[in-house]
Structure 1
Amino acid sequence: MLTMEAPQAGDTLAPVLASDELVATAYLDRIKLQFDLSGLVAIRGDGAEVLRAPVPLRLYRFQRRQAYRVASAGQLYPALKLADADLPRIRVVNVSAGGVALHWPTHVVPVPQAGQEITGTLELEREVSFATLLRVQHLTQGEQGAPHQAGCAFVSLAPTAARALQVFIDQAQKRERLMRRSS
């Protein structure tokens, strides 16, 4: 049996229980699981309410993102060196084949906005870097002086840059797996 937390708002539970077609979604790290629920019932006890259903026969597994993301391991690399030499290097939070997430310091102005393009050199490691053009997909404002987080997509990559990026991601994945095994 599966046991799930019932919604707190009492008026939302009745339509859910009455529905013939229910689909549940759960997330495990970077993986999305989706499955049909049948025989869902509400059970009250100890002042709380839970939902129960038989374990589904099929689970559908989806990767949460289209491209695997590699989290930044250190403070120096990877980083984005902006085309304007007066601006500091921008820390890269994670890298994928489709783009990067940046920690944009609040003191670096102007702060890029969604749709804006950024030119710079992506420094993956000390000896691995390439020129890139990024388009800001979204920007999350930092609170109380914390850096903004900018999600950026690669506009176009030269074949050599795409290859260097793929090798970097593959190596980072291997390191990640080795670290998990040893711990």
Structure 2
Amino acid sequence: MTGANPGFEGMDPAQAGQEMARWAEQLQRKAQTFQQLQQRMTHLTATATSPDGAVRVTVDSQGVPTELTVTERGRGGDPAALSAQLMACLTSAQTQLSGQVQELVQDTVPEDDPSAERIVGSYRDRFPDQAETEPEAGGTGVLDVGRIEDEEPPSAPPPRRPARTDTDDDEDGWGDQSILR
């Protein structure tokens, strides 16, 4: 009797009262379980460090970075390489977090509870396993969105817009007349 409608119809009032009390106890236990889970989840963090130790990233229980560190080993390094290491560490930390959430949910919530799978699934969807996000062979795995390339300036300047004339003011068809008349 754990559904939204515990099915008290057709019972005698005494039996329905007992069933309702049991149902309320089950809901109370479930609420306490999820409250405990929430409290434990808020304390989760995950940290990942690059293989060469140049970069370290820590994320909180929501997967938000709380620490981005470039160590002495990373100083003077190639900015693109450091950026790629930071992103790889962020992904690794978030993947670790997803695993921690799965373990915590399994340890806290009964296995048959559909809410448990939804919680784990939401973390799995937001932070997929690194193997699922690896670039294809030959790819760099780096999206240079917004990156400014070192290019030669264009040979011809862009065409200039013609200078405004007094007739441009009459584009709306009102001429020199006020629209407030």
TM interval, short-chain normalised: under 0.3
Higher strand share: 1
Normalised to the residue count of structure 2, the TM-score between the two structures is 0.24
The structure number with the bigger radius of gyration is: 2
